[in-house]
Amino acid sequence: MFADRYLDKNKIEPLIAAPPSPSLQMSVVIPCYREPDILQTLESLKECNLPDSDVEVIILINQPEIAAEAIKNFNRKTKLEIDNWISENMKKGISFSAVDPIDLRKKWAGAGLARKKGMDEAVRRFNSLRKPGGIIVSLDADTLVRKNYFTEIKKYFQNHPENPGATIAFNHQKEGLEERHLQGILLYEKYMDYYKNALKFCGYPYPMFTVGSAFAVTANAYVKRGGMNRRQAGEDFYFLQNLAQIGTVGEITSTKVFPSARLSNRVPFGTGPILKKWMEGKEDLSKTYSFEAFTDLKDFFDVKDQLYLIEKQDYKLFLIKLPLSIGNFLIENDFREEITDLNRNCSSLKSFQTRFFQKFNAFKILKFLNFCHPLFYPKENLEKQIKKLNNTKQK
């Protein structure tokens, strides 16, 4: 079967004893760690229109192995509440399973490992049904969804069977937020939109939103990319950027999810920590990366083909012609070694063009942006940078 090797290699043990429905086509995975509002998420899913094949929801209750007893008690209580909810809300076409609180190893405990364990279980179940095209959907325990959530996700993959995955449109929940909190999440959403569009402007081929509660992937593609990573934060970013290396990661805009805009310090970065810093006056969300930095990236990407089979002396001349920010970054990070390796493994310009962005990927772009701010550019007003980008797109 399609995932046998992956399951054996990763020593995946069953988490759910009951066999999956033979007509199962979609599995929604929800990591759940000390979540007070999980029943609202389950209610939101229950109210959805159902597709013509079965859906299951896997709630993976988890905690670090060194978690305080109060957290473990909270999770045990959550398990009982979910089990009671499930017994009172059975519905044909959709099933819910809450995995007993599982201890995550201290070294890896966090969102990545929890999401991985849930998605691995979904793969195991699709593998038992011989369904490599089964859809695994990533959701969070504080997120609500539109009623057409299931039907639109299934429709997308029916219409794009060649695509390994897709992101899902989102807006953070804003009702009841105090003024500064609301201002913060609105600025953060504008920043996310600016960043994605700026990546597209500069020529990066895989611009996308990377939100843990808003993407879906086929079981087969999940296995091909080696499964979810175990990062304690940013697991969605790394997974989706890697997924894009095997095919088009599309965008489902015909439905929407609504993540919480809550403040949090559970992870080192992401929406929760950034909003918390904003509320404490430690982060200025009205400032962002200068549009000039993305213009420099565009200048570099426009001439990247010149690096194909480039000689050592020509590489030095190539650097001199680049914007200072890019040239210095490439020298600082010894990018010539990566280009040498790339040329060694590319037999044509076409393969070089395809594989170039495996070297200068989204992680490298982020590293460049943090390198050149404030060394070459100060952070700038977000609204002004959005206007600059929009004006450029209109030319």
83: pLDDT strictly greater than 70: yes
Q: Quick one: average pLDDT of 278-302?
A: 97
What is the number of domains present in the chain? 2
pLDDT at 270: 77
Q: Where among 225, 243, 262 does a domain terminate?
A: 262
Asked if residue 87 belongs to a domain, the reply is yes
Whether 116 shows a pLDDT value over 70: the answer reads yes
Q: What is the pLDDT of residue 108?
A: 83
Q: What is the pLDDT of residues 308-330, one digit of tens each?
A: 999 989 999 999 999 999 999 99
* Residue with the larger pLDDT of the pair 110 and 338: 338
pLDDT of residue 271: 86
Please give the pLDDT value at position 70: 96
Does the structure show a pLDDT above 70 at 301? yes
Q: Summarize the confidence of residues 128-140 as an average pLDDT.
A: 98
The confidence score (pLDDT) of residue 109 equals 82
Quickly state the pLDDT bin for 265 (edges 50, 70, 90): low
In angstroms, rounded to a whole number, what is the distance separating the alpha carbons of residues 139 and 212? 7
| Rounded Cα–Cα distance for residues 273 and 275 (Å) | 5
* pLDDT band, residue 26 (cuts 50/70/90): very high
Q: Are residues 106 and 225 in the same domain?
A: yes
- Using the predicted structure, report yes or no on whether residue 286 has a pLDDT greater than 90: yes
Give per-residue pLDDT as tens, 336-353. 999 999 999 999 999 999
Q: Minimum mean pLDDT among 74-88, 106-120, 176-190, 299-313: which range? A: 106-120
| Closest-CA residue to 184 (of 265, 253, 256, 282) | 282
Mean pLDDT across 381-386: 98
Asked whether residue 393 is assigned to any structural domain, the reply reads no
17 & 141 share domain: yes
* pLDDT band for position 266 (cuts 50, 70, 90): low
Q: Mean pLDDT over residues 231-236, rounded? A: 78
- Rounded distance, CA 343 to CA 134, Å? 37
The answer on 166 and 45 residing in a single domain is yes
Reported confidence tier of residue 235, pLDDT bands at 50, 70, 90: confident
Residues 217 and 346 in one domain: no
Residue 274 located in a structural domain = no
Q: Are residues 253 and 319 in the same domain?
A: no
The pLDDT score that the predictor gives to residue 268 is: 57
pLDDT of res. 267: 58
Indicate whether 64 and 146 sit together in one domain. yes
Domain shared by 296 and 258, yes or no? no
- Asked whether residue 173 falls in the same domain as residue 309, the answer is no
Entry pTM: 0.94
Of 32-41, 171-180, 268-277, the poorest mean pLDDT is in 268-277
Q: Are 305 and 230 part of one and the same domain?
A: no
On whether residue 285 sits in a domain, the answer given is no
**Domain range enclosing 324:** 291-378
| Block residue for tokens 């050592």 | 312
Is 14 a member of any domain? yes
pLDDT tens track for 32-65:
999 999 999 999 999 999 999 999 999 999 999 9
Q: Domain check: are 98 and 54 in the same one? A: yes
Q: Look at residue 280 and tell me if it is in a domain.
A: no
Together in a domain, 21 and 122: yes
Please report, rounded to a whole number, the percentage of residues in the chain having pLDDT higher than 70: 98
Q: Does 319 share its domain with 374?
A: yes
Q: Regarding predicted confidence, which is higher, 243 or 107?
A: 243
**Is residue 279 in some structural domain?**
no
For the segment 245-262, the average pLDDT, to the nearest whole number, is: 95
Residue 24 is assigned to a structural domain of this protein: yes
CATH number at residue 97: 3.90.550.10
* Cα–Cα dist 356/342, whole Å: 7
Sign of CA dihedral 214, 356, 359, 243: positive
